[in-house]
């Protein structure tokens, strides 16, 4: 029988593995048949969109916890969505590190307000945040909206406030955001994807 260098090492490795297991007192065949539990077996899946850039890759988020009263859900794994037409299951390094983003200690979970002259941020409710934004937007637009130029040309523009949109928005919410921004006359409009 001809023994190549590769087959010689294969035989040595399998022989060493079997003899080591046998020395621990386990029947070799039983040990080889044991399969480690798949780590996502007991997770729930939720589809989402990567929030980082305008490519908009689809992701699947796996979480533990069955939503029972005392069980705290936690996202334990994020991967690319193989059924998504944009990325077909792939993720770039930023998308592949989303789990760290989700569990980051510095992640912002609610709106905060810093009063003029203060160096402290105070937590406020979403209602208070939206109300405050709406009031400021209206006040600035009422004051600075330009319907016509000095030559009488109709322009309907508002240059003193800008809008930064989110890259994880769906097509529909992106369309509505664009409509709202442009109907207000706002020209400064950009996307978080370019930040």
Binding site for ligand SF4 (CB under 6 A): 50, 52-53, 55-57, 87, 91-92, 94-95
DSSP string of the chain?
A: ----HHHHHHHHHHHHHHHHHHHTT--HHHHHH--PPPTTTTPEEEEEE-SSSTT--EEEEEEE----TTPPPEEEEEEE-TT-TTTTT---HHHHTHHHHHT-TT---S-EE--TT----EE--HHHHHHHHHHHHHHHHHHH-EEE-TTS-EEEEB-S--EEE-TT--HHHHHHHHHHHHHTTB--EEEGGG-
Which residue number, 60 or 186, has a Cβ lying nearer to ligand SF4?
60
Which residue number, 10 or 88, has a Cβ lying nearer to ligand SF4?
88
Q: Please, what is the minimum distance in Å from the beta carbon of residue 110 to ligand SF4?
A: 24
Q: Please, what is the minimum distance in Å from the beta carbon of residue 50 to ligand SF4?
A: 3
Q: Please, what is the minimum distance in Å from the beta carbon of residue 96 to ligand SF4?
A: 7
Q: Please, what is the minimum distance in Å from the beta carbon of residue 101 to ligand SF4?
A: 10
Which residue number, 57 or 181, has a Cβ lying nearer to ligand SF4?
57
Which residue number, 55 or 76, has a Cβ lying nearer to ligand SF4?
55
């Amino acid at each position: 029988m001809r023994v190549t260098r590769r087959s010689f090492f294969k035989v040595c490795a399998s022989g060493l593995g079997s003899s080591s297991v046998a020395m621990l007192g386990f029947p070799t065949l039983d040990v080889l048949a044991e399969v480690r539990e798949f780590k996502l077996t007991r997770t729930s899946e939720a589809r989402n969109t990567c929030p980082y850039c305008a490519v908009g890759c689809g992701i699947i988020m796996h979480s533990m916890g069955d939503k029972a009263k005392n069980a705290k859900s936690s996202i334990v794994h994020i991967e690319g969505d193989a059924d998504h037409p944009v990325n077909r299951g792939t993720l770039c390094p930023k998308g592949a590190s989303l789990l760290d983003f989700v569990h980051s200690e510095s992640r912002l979970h609610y709106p905060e307000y810093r009063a003029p002259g203060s160096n402290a941020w105070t937590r406020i409710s979403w209602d208070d945040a939206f109300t405050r934004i709406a009031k400021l937007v209206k006040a600035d637009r009422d004051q600075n909206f330009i319907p016509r130029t000095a030559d009488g040309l109709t322009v309907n523009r508002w240059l003193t406030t800008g809008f930064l949109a989110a890259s994880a928005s769906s097509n529909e919410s992106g369309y509505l955001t664009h409509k709202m921004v442009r109907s207000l006359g706002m020209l400064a409009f950009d996307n978080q994807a370019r930040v």
